[in-house]
């Protein structure tokens, strides 16, 4: 939390004897501590500083925690020496220290998922900001690339492509050299990153046709995210597969000035990079950067879960025979075709919707769930006086009672 020094200094008109929040003002105090205890303004600042300091200690690991304690002790000694009993001086140094500690550090914690990886012995010998030209990379940097068409499907959306988000688990074990990653998928994907304790992740480049998100990294790790559907977009947007091997080394040379050490294709939405590890290996991830933080909760759930969500809200209902009869009658009246009778056939059936399978009537304004492709496709009937829905139909069809038009890929089949 940033505060102006002027505002902090102005509150010293309220000074009188109070107890400071972070230590006992009735004990044996040095001159600086006495000055803090005698000022309400400094008391408030000392309490605020103590809260931020405690918040940092709660999330840091052993080494980082020891460093913070040591730095705080050095700051106290410097505060006492430079300011002594000068109230204005104390206000300035407190304001500066509070600003330093106001950004809570990443909550790096051990993951509870298991992951096994044994890298292949052979490699491949193939020849906004869209690069990492603003950072200095180590000469011994190892570059790894990996991905697939999609990861593990979820019920969430991270964009408005009409595709459900997929998730990849990425584990890195490289205690000896820093690592840069090139990740690529077609579907909108979230890459959950985890690493062993001594692994240093220098940079991550994630690309795809749809939106890509990297989660789990420390917040100061440089990341470039690019997709063909977003602007601005970088020139390289492809998912990593055997068909795109020829593109990987040129991209790595452009980004990191060196070729890729190894390419790995995701299996069961999991990728492992670096040295071999097994299910007993301890990994860490940034618990403050999770899938939930990146999901757009303003959008409905995806696929069948999204349909069930709309049903539970009363926004849609299952279709029935009367809905089909209604469509046939209205469509027949609209076209008013002069058709000859056909032996053994009700000619009005030519207007009957086809390929229905699962069908639903839209009763209210909705956004169509993402991921209604393949086996998830459904047929919608839009009730009269109900606005046309947002979102993407995917492979689904929609019969609009307002316009008597069919929208979708199978309408004319």
pLDDT tens digits, one per residue of 277-327 = 988 899 998 877 766 666 666 777 888 888 998 999 999 999 999 999 899
pLDDT mean over 332-340:
72
**pLDDT surpassing 60 at residue 73:** yes
**pLDDT surpassing 70 at residue 10:** no
Q: What is the pLDDT of residue 232?
A: 61
**Distance in angstroms (rounded) separating the CA atoms of residues 136 and 257:** 12
Q: What is the pLDDT of residue 283?
A: 92
**pLDDT surpassing 70 at residue 165:** yes
Q: What is the pLDDT of residue 291?
A: 65
**pLDDT surpassing 60 at residue 212:** yes
**Distance in angstroms (rounded) separating the CA atoms of residues 100 and 78:** 16
- Is 0.85 surpassed by the pTM of this model? no
The shares of helix, strand and coil residues in the chain, as percent rounded to the nearest 5, are: 30, 20, 50
Count how many residues are written for the chain. 413
For residue 110 the two structure tokens come to 């051990």
Where in 10-136 does DSSP place strands (E)? 108-110
User: In 204-362, which ranges are continuous DSSP H helix?
Assistant: 245-256, 291-294, 303-313, 321-335
Of 70, 24, 23, 28, residue with least CA distance to 49: 23
**Distance in angstroms (rounded) separating the CA atoms of residues 114 and 278:** 8
**Distance in angstroms (rounded) separating the CA atoms of residues 261 and 267:** 19
**Distance in angstroms (rounded) separating the CA atoms of residues 366 and 387:** 8
**pLDDT surpassing 80 at residue 93:** yes
CB-CB contact of 218 with 203 (8 Å): no
Residues 6 or more apart whose CB falls under 8 angstroms from that of 163 comprise 157, 187, 188, 210, 302, 370, 371, 373, 394
CB-CB contact of 15 with 41 (8 Å): yes
Portion of the chain with pLDDT greater than 90, in percent: 43
More confident residue, 327 or 220: 327
- In whole angstroms, how large is the CA radius of gyration of the chain? 30
Residues 6 or more apart whose CB falls under 8 angstroms from that of 305 comprise 155, 369
CA terminus-to-terminus distance, the chain: 61
**What angle in degrees, to the nearest 10, is found between the helix axes of 87-101 and 40-59?**
20
Cα 386 to Cα 323, 380, 390, 398, 410, distances in angstroms? 15, 12, 12, 13, 23
User: Residue 206 pairs with which residues in a beta bridge?
Assistant: 183, 225
**Distance in angstroms (rounded) separating the CA atoms of residues 169 and 192:** 5
Q: How many CA atoms lie within 13 Å of 27's alpha carbon, on the beta-carbon side?
A: 7
> Of 107-116, 311-320, 355-364, where does mean pLDDT reach its minimum?
107-116
Q: What is the pLDDT of residue 292?
A: 67
More confident residue, 113 or 226: 226
CB-CB contact of 326 with 371 (8 Å): no
For residue 170 the two structure tokens come to 């990425």
Phi, psi dihedral angles at 194 (to 5 degrees): -140, 155
Q: What is the pLDDT of residue 9?
A: 36
**pLDDT surpassing 70 at residue 104:** no
Of 283, 353, 287, 288, residue with least CA distance to 319: 353
**pLDDT surpassing 80 at residue 128:** no
């Amino acid at each position: 939390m940033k505060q102006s020094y002027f505002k902090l200094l102005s509150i010293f008109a309220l000074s009188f004897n109070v107890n400071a929040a972070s230590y006992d003002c009735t004990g044996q105090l040095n001159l600086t501590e006495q000055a803090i205890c005698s000022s309400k303004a400094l008391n408030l600042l000392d309490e605020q500083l103590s809260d931020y300091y405690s918040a940092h200690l709660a999330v840091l690991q052993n080494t980082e925690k020891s460093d913070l304690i040591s730095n705080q002790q050095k700051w106290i000694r410097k505060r006492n020496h430079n300011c002594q009993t000068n109230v204005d001086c104390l206000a300035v140094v407190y304001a500066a220290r509070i600003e330093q500690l106001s950004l809570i550090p990443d909550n790096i914690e051990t993951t509870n998922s298991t992951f096994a990886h044994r890298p292949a012995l052979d490699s491949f010998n193939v020849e906004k900001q869209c690069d990492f030209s603003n950072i200095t990379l180590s000469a011994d940097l190892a570059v790894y690339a990996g991905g697939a068409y999609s990861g593990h499907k979820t019920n969430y959306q991270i964009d408005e492509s009409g595709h459900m988000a997929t998730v990849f688990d990425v584990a890195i074990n490289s205690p000896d050299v820093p690592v840069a990653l090139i990740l690529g998928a077609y579907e909108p994907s979230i890459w959950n990153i985890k690493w062993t304790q001594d692994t240093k992740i220098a940079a991550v480049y994630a690309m795809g046709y749809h939106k890509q998100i990297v989660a789990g990294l420390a917040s100061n790790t440089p990341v470039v995210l690019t997709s063909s559907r977003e602007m601005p977009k970088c020139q390289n947007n492809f998912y990593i597969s055997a068909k795109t091997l020829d593109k990987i080394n040129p991209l790595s040379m452009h980004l990191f000035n060196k070729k890729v050490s190894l390419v790995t294709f995701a299996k069961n939405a999991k990728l492992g990079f670096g040295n071999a590890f097994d299910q007993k290996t301890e990994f860490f991830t940034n618990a403050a950067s999770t899938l939930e933080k990146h999901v757009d909760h303003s959008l409905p759930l995806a696929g069948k879960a999204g349909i069930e969500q709309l049903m539970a809200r009363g926004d849609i209902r299952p279709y029935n025979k009367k809905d089909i009869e209604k469509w046939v009658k209205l469509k027949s009246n609209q076209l008013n075709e002069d058709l000859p009778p056909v032996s053994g056939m009700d000619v009005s059936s030519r207007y009957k919707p086809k390929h229905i399978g699962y069908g639903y009537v839209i009763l209210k304004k909705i956004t169509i769930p993402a991921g209604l492709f393949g086996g998830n496709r459904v047929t919608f009937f839009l009730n009269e006086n109900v606005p046309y829905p947002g979102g993407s139909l995917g492979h689904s069809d929609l019969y609009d009672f307002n316009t008597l038009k069919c929208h979708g890929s199978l309408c004319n089949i």
